[in-house]
Amino acid sequence: MAAERKIIHIDCDCFYAAVEMRDNPSLRDVPLAIGGAAERRGVIATCNYPARRFGVRSAMSTRTALQRCPGLVLMPADFLRYRDASRAIHAIFRDYTERIEPLSLDEAYLDVTGLPHCRGSATLMAREIRARIASEVGITASAGIAPNKLLAKIASDWHKPDGQFVITPGEIEAFMPSLPVGKLWGVGKATAARLARMGVETCADLQGWPLARLVRDFGKMGVSLHQQCRGIDARSVVSARTRKSLSVEQTYAHDLADLDACLAALPELVDDFAARLSRSDVAAERAKPVVKIKFHDFSQTTVEGPGAPTLATFAALLQQGWLRGAKPVRLLGVGVRLGDAPPASGQPDLWG
């Protein structure tokens, strides 16, 4: 009989801000955010907990964040230092398992099934890993421990910051019913709102729906919802992922008024992309050029086409995409998608 899976999800607390507070202790008790400048339409990447008490959140526009917290200390990202901290964290992970699936610089799944550390206790391993991150890297992390990835990620958010939470196999049946459906993997704001309109707020509500109805209304996602609302997730921890895309994008301080302005801004963006492509291991002959356009009203479109990722190809795609909205543009992106397989249903693709 196969051993019951033991999955740990580690998520560092406000990672970028935590590194800044570690290196400058005077920032620890003031509202702090990492992000772009308001006058350049910047977005908050992360913020510390004093800032969150004012309602500042990741992915919020910097302008809104400063309105909510006029005393907010705003700093640009320093990815060299963040990557150094990330390498140290992942080195700690490797002392416990080789089955590691990184999700970002500061977040990963660890499969510790059947491993001998800490007498085989995933709970003790998580506690020890968190203690080592605190002592060796100088920041805090939270952890979730569960029999699968879905529940481990949910659990890691339960006692944030600097805490951990365990969901054992025997607790799943009692744990799931009260869980909001928005906590499920792949359920974003739009899907959660759609479910709410259908009278579904919690997993208990969703459990009352037959599989056939979920498939009828949500397609393949319906099968996933039927399983997830019962705490079922068969996904494995995947140590290596195949790159599916490569891209760059730019949000402009002032809207690009028309197609000519977009075309004038394109060469600099393509040059940035070409430099990134040259540093990557991507084979250009396998790549399909893609252009992303976000209009001033936040509606957006992407256009994919054949050909090499050249300025001429991107310009042709840009013209095609701009005609779909024909209005001022706040953001342009160019990139390539690799291979022929379309992105999985419900999952973010090139710029997800």
Does the annotation place 271 within a ligand binding site? no
Contact between 299 and 268 (Cβ < 8 Å) = no
DSSP, collapsed to helix, strand or coil, labels residue 97 as coil
- Residue 125 Cα distances to 8, 119, 150, angstroms: 9, 9, 19
Residue 102 forms beta bridges with which residues?
A: 108
Does the annotation place 106 within a ligand binding site? yes
DSSP, collapsed to helix, strand or coil, labels residue 113 as coil
DSSP, collapsed to helix, strand or coil, labels residue 105 as coil
Q: In 3D, which of 317, 315, 293, 294 has the Cα closest to residue 304?
A: 317
- Residue 210 Cα distances to 139, 235, 252, angstroms: 45, 22, 47
Catalytic hit among 20, 39, 98, 107: 107
Active site (annotated) includes residue 171: no
Number of helices and strands in the chain (H, E):
13, 12
DSSP, collapsed to helix, strand or coil, labels residue 47 as strand
Catalytic residues: 107
Q: Which residues participate in the annotated binding site? A: 11, 106
Q: Which residues participate in the annotated binding site for Mg(2+)? A: 11, 106
